[in-house]
Amino acid sequence: MKPMKRVAAIHDISGVGKCSLTVALPIISAAGVECAVMPTAVLSTHTGGFAGFTFRDLTDDMRPMAEHWKKENIAFDAFYSGYLGSLSQIGIVEDVIEMFRGPETLVMVDPVMADNGKLYPLFTMDHVKGMAKLCGKADVIIPNRTEAAFMLGQEYKEGSMTEEEVNSLLRALAGLGAGQVVLTGVHFGGDDLGAACYHAGTGQINYIMDKRVEGMYHGTGDVFGSFLLGALLRGINLAQAVRVAVDFTCAAIQLTAADGTGPRMGVRFESVLADYGKMLDNR
């Protein structure tokens, strides 16, 4: 058996609502990859669609956790950061990555902060600037269209896009500094929805589309990112790993739509985990 890879996932724990660490842990584990965690905050629920959530900030624990890992000689094959509750956490994540990074380390940053043209509660444009800088330190970034537009100082555009618009957005995002860019929420017209990816090293661009399911479900970005990272760490190339992530995320969304549980409780990724693990083992 090959040794298992180890990721450090740096996100919050939202107790209810299936996002961040409560999806990264099970999905990355199902990929046959160890998922170590650095929780950035503990909330009763995520901040989208619930009022009065609790928020326990864990900023002061982040550096000591990393220092303890370093002292114990613990190594990581990848870092995966997502929702970061404050500007100072962004700086700490940059430092933690530098403490552990080697030539083979894969750093994936999801600049979680906005969707549908709007910043999430608690965030300001300073957070956008900080996230753009953190994206510059990553190997792979996975913004949605709103995050992409904000980080590039462009106006957010809704609706369908042309290939030229997608390609120029991908190249501009790579200009922030990451060699591999995955843009989510891509829509060319009709009822399609998917992702586009760009590998700056090869210049290759791919569009990975599926049929859109009506409705917006919370936590899909984290489900997508976790499926993607699991596939990348199992040796699948960028375009194929994005295909895997789109397929399994869409399958989870379809099951959720059939359940009728509504958008804020997250998606039914649990029901596709066994197939995801088997697919990675049998390739």
Contact 6, 33 (CB under 8 A): yes
Taking the least distance from each CB to ligand PXL, the nearer of 27 and 112 is 112
Residue 147 interacts with ligand PXL (CB under 6 A): yes or no: no
Radius of gyration of the chain (CA): 17
Q: Which is nearer to ligand PXL, 55 or 126 (CB)?
A: 55
Give the number of residues in contact with ligand PXL, rule: CB under 6 A. Answer: 14
Q: Which CB, 54 or 154, lies closer to ligand PXL?
A: 54
Work out how close the CB of 147 gets to ligand PXL at its nearest, in angstroms, rounded to a whole number: 11
User: Cβ of 129: how many Cβ atoms within 10 Å?
Assistant: 15
Place of tokens 């501009």: 172
Phi first, then psi, for residue 189 (nearest 5°) are 140, 165
**CB of residue 60 vs ligand PXL: minimum separation in angstroms?**
18
Q: To the nearest whole angstrom, how small is the minimum distance from the Cβ of residue 73 to ligand PXL?
A: 31
Residue 89 is a binding residue for ligand PXL (CB under 6 A): no
Return all residues near 90 (Cβ < 8 A) that are at least 6 apart.
84, 127, 130, 131, 133, 134
Q: Cβ distance 240 to 269 under 8 Å?
A: no
- Give the interface segment with ligand PXL, choosing from 2-10, 41-49, 239-247, 255-263 (CB under 6 A): 41-49
Residues 6 or more apart from 203 whose CB is under 8 A from it? none
Q: Which C-beta is closer to ligand PXL: that of 14 or that of 280?
A: 14
Minimum CB separation from ligand PXL for residue 113, in Å? Answer: 9
Q: Is 20 in the site for ligand PXL (CB under 6 A)?
A: yes
Looking only at residues 195 through 234 of this chain, which bind ligand PXL when binding is defined by CB under 6 A? 219, 221-222
**Cβ count within 10 A of residue 61:** 12
| Residue 40 found at the interface with ligand PXL (CB under 6 A) | no
The Cα–Cα gap between 18 and 179 comes to 29
Position 9 contacts ligand PXL (CB under 6 A):
no
Member of 7, 30, 47, 208 binding ligand PXL (CB under 6 A): 47
Question: What is the rounded distance in angstroms from the CA atom of residue 259 to the CA atom of residue 247?
Answer: 19
Tokens representing residue 200 in the block: 């700056």
Residue 112 lies near ligand PXL (rule: CB under 6 A): yes
**Structural tokens at position 223:** 């489900």
Q: Is 19 in the site for ligand PXL (CB under 6 A)?
A: yes
Point out which residues pair with 196 in neighbouring strands. Answer: 183, 207
User: Does residue 50 touch ligand PXL according to CB under 6 A?
Assistant: no
**Interaxial angle between packed helices 87-100 and 125-136, expressed in degrees from 0 to 180 and rounded to the nearest 10:** 10
What is the tally of helices (H) and strands (E) in the chain?
A: 9, 11
Closest to ligand PXL by CB, 47 vs 146, is: 47
| Residue closer to ligand PXL, measured from CB, 239 or 250 | 250
Residues within the interface to ligand PXL (CB under 6 A): 12, 14, 19-20, 43, 46-48, 83, 112, 120, 219, 221-222
